[in-house]
Amino acid sequence: MFTGIVTDVGEVRSVNPRAGNLHRITIFCGYPRTEIVQGASIACSGVCLTVVDGGEEDGRSWFAVDAADETLRVTTVGRWRQNSKINLERALKFGDELGGHLVAGHVDGLATVVAREDMTEMARFALRAPAKLARFIAPKGSVALDGVSLTVNAVEKDTFSVLIIPHTLQVTTFGALRKDENVNLEVDTMARYAARLMEMK
C-alpha cells in the first residue's frame, strides 16, 4: 500500500525487452542504495512494481523492475523512454504518516488532460476519465493521478478537476504536465466498495 505522497522523481535509465513478454526498466532515483532491496514495492507514477535489481552508477542510485505487456498496454509505462521522469513512492510501513489516502498502486485506467489553467503559483487541471470509472469520482473525494493523492474539486459527467498547489508542482511531474497527455488513474478504494454495495442492494 501507498499514500499518494511522492518522495522522489525518478528518471528512466533504460527500457529493454526480455523473454516472457517482460520489459526490464531501470530507473535512477534519489533513494540511498542501501535502502533499495530486491523484492521491495515501489510505486512508479502510480504503478506498483517490484524491485528486481539495484546498484549505483556515477554516484547515482538505480533500481530495476520488470513490467509485463499488459502493464505497458493499460498504463503510461508503455510510453516510458530513456530520460522519462516518473513519480516515485516507496511502500507504506507500519507507523508511517498517512498524509494522502490509501493507494494500492493498481491503476484502473488512463485519464486525459483536457485543460490546464495556470494561476499564481498553482495550476488547475481538468481531466477526462474513462466512462466506466467516472462513477467512482466525486467532488471532495480522492483520486491518485500518476501516483499523486489529490482531492477532486468538481465533476461534470466524465470530466473532473483538481487543483495542484505550488509544492506538488515542484516535487512531482505535474509541473511539466500538458493538455492531451495521459496520466495513470486509480480511483478511491472506498468509492469502489460503496458502489459495489449499492449494486448488491
User: Would you call 50 a catalytic residue per the annotation?
Assistant: yes
The CATH label, of 3.20.20.80, 3.40.50.720, 3.40.50.300, 2.40.30.20, for the domain at 8-90 is: 2.40.30.20
Is the pLDDT at 201 greater than 70? The verdict is no
Annotated catalytic residue within 29, 44, 48, 129: 48
User: Would you call 2 a catalytic residue per the annotation?
Assistant: yes
Write down the residue that cell numbers 509544492 correspond to.
167
Annotated catalytic residue within 7, 40, 50, 191: 50
Write down the residue that cell numbers 520488470 correspond to.
66
CA distance 12 to 101: 26
CATH topology of domain 109-200: Elongation Factor Tu (Ef-tu); domain 3 (2.40.30)
Annotated catalytic residue within 68, 115, 131, 195: 68
Q: What is the pTM of this model?
A: 0.93
- Sign of the Cα torsion 114, 118, 119, 120 reads positive
User: Would you call 48 a catalytic residue per the annotation?
Assistant: yes
User: Would you call 41 a catalytic residue per the annotation?
Assistant: yes
Q: Which tens digits make up the pLDDT trace of 141-180?
A: 999 999 999 999 999 999 999 999 999 999 999 999 999 9
User: Would you call 68 a catalytic residue per the annotation?
Assistant: yes
